[in-house]
Amino acid sequence: MNDCFILLAAGKGKRFNSKIPKQYINYKNKPLYVHSINKAIESNMFKKIILVLDKKNKTIVNDKISVITGGKERYQSSLKALDYIKNNNIKNVYIHDAARPNFSIKLLKRLKKNLKNNKAVIPYIKTENSTKYKKNNKIINLDREKLLFTQTPQCFDFKTLYKFSKLNNKIITDEASLFLNNNMRIKFIKGEDNNFKITKKTDLNKFNMKYFFGIGFDIHKLIKRKKLYLGGTRIPFHSGLQGHSDGDVILHSIIDGLLGALRKKDIGTIYPSNKTKFKNIRSPNMLSPIIKNLNKDGYYINNIDINLICEKPKVYKYRDRIILSLSNLLNIKKNQINLKGKTVEKLGLIGKEKAIACEALVSLNYYA
Ligand code: ZN
């Protein structure tokens, strides 16, 4: 595995007309560029991943990823990245625009397969539009069957691309242009319709985004000689929560909130308490299959608000810890989660520290 993935995310996005550079806009609940980085990591095809940003970024901690700052123009950013890896014994290099967050790992694999006998492999799509061309103030018809619209990721033999990049000083819109300008053969393969480029703000309106909300509630009795788990983390306490599972009321409420927003019944239907196979199941294991399918089905968590209802333990003491644990389990940022503590004026079972209850409100975005 001697391949490198370069993500170009240093542009100013003039056509996007926004205060925040396009690569950082929120797309499907993540900064736009993060989608491509995640896919490169998930593909497991790369020895190195180079993220070219417009400014330094110290929040990315992953030993495979190097963050560098780009140049003024795209071709300069691309050359800076190639310079950066020149001594890393890289065989193939994939160059991708952050504005195309929707390519598939399948496409990466097809590119790789085709690179075996080629020095440049470029994905393209065709157009359905009738196409004209302006030449010397005259408009002429073009045969759309002969038009190729190129996409990224584009993949190349590193040495060849690096050589052409160093010699180039012209503005180009993709690296395939370098090969064409040098009369080099390119293997064109079919791209993906879904791999469109987000250029203008109105491109984001192409999605039909909907909101869904779900509410969850749970209560468990406190019993001695059991460990207490709240939000997937162990909390020191004199008792733990009784139940078929570890009795984690926070996770159970969140699961029911998620299922509610997904319109998929409730936790008891998915994990019936009379089934021995779910006996003593840890609640994070009940949550993880739901989270795994969530994004696949087009849903993204917007925020979660939680009321933990108990006399003790005091929520403020463990808030940060619980939120950190939840953000890891739910794969969302800490600032998408809020945890409130609520006592019941020492009333009833909860007031006498015999039970803990919880309610959670979950909001999901859905991109059709
Ligand atoms: Zn429960």
- The yes-or-no verdict on residue 280 having pLDDT over 90 is no
Give distance in angstroms: CA of 221 to centre of ligand 1. 10
Supply the pLDDT for residue 19.
72
Give distance in angstroms: CA of 232 to centre of ligand 1. 13
Q: What is the CATH number of domain 3-205?
A: 3.90.550.10
Bridge partners, 112 (sequence order): none
Supply the pLDDT for residue 58.
67
Give distance in angstroms: CA of 249 to centre of ligand 1. 5
Give distance in angstroms: CA of 344 to centre of ligand 1. 19
Give distance in angstroms: CA of 277 to centre of ligand 1. 16
- The yes-or-no verdict on residue 13 having pLDDT over 80 is no
Give distance in angstroms: CA of 337 to centre of ligand 1. 20
Give distance in angstroms: CA of 267 to centre of ligand 1. 8
The whole-angstrom separation of Cα 122 and Cα 149 is: 10
For the chain, how many residues are written?
Answer: 368
Domain extents for the chain?
3-205, 209-367
Give distance in angstroms: CA of 233 to centre of ligand 1. 15
Give distance in angstroms: CA of 306 to centre of ligand 1. 15
Helix, strand, or coil (residue 195):
coil
Give distance in angstroms: CA of 254 to centre of ligand 1. 10
Give distance in angstroms: CA of 302 to centre of ligand 1. 23
The whole-angstrom separation of Cα 123 and Cα 151 is: 5
DSSP E strand boundaries for the chain = 3-9, 26-27, 30-31, 48-53, 65-69, 92-97, 120-125, 131-135, 138-142, 149-150, 154-157, 187-190, 209-223, 228-230, 233-235, 240-241, 299-309, 337-342, 355-367
* pLDDT tens, residue by residue, 183-235: 999 999 999 998 999 888 777 777 677 899 999 999 999 999 999 999 999 99
Supply the pLDDT for residue 121.
97
Mark 283-309 as b/e (b = at least 16 C-beta within 10 Å). bbebbeebbeebeeeebbbbebebbbb
- The yes-or-no verdict on residue 273 having pLDDT over 90 is no
Q: How confident is the model at residue 15 (pLDDT cuts 50, 70, 90)?
A: low
Give distance in angstroms: CA of 331 to centre of ligand 1. 21
Paired sense of beta strands 26-27 and 337-342, if any: unpaired
Give distance in angstroms: CA of 364 to centre of ligand 1. 22
* CATH topology agreement for domains 3-205 and 209-367: no
Give distance in angstroms: CA of 211 to centre of ligand 1. 26
Q: What is the CATH number of domain 209-367?
A: 3.30.1330.50
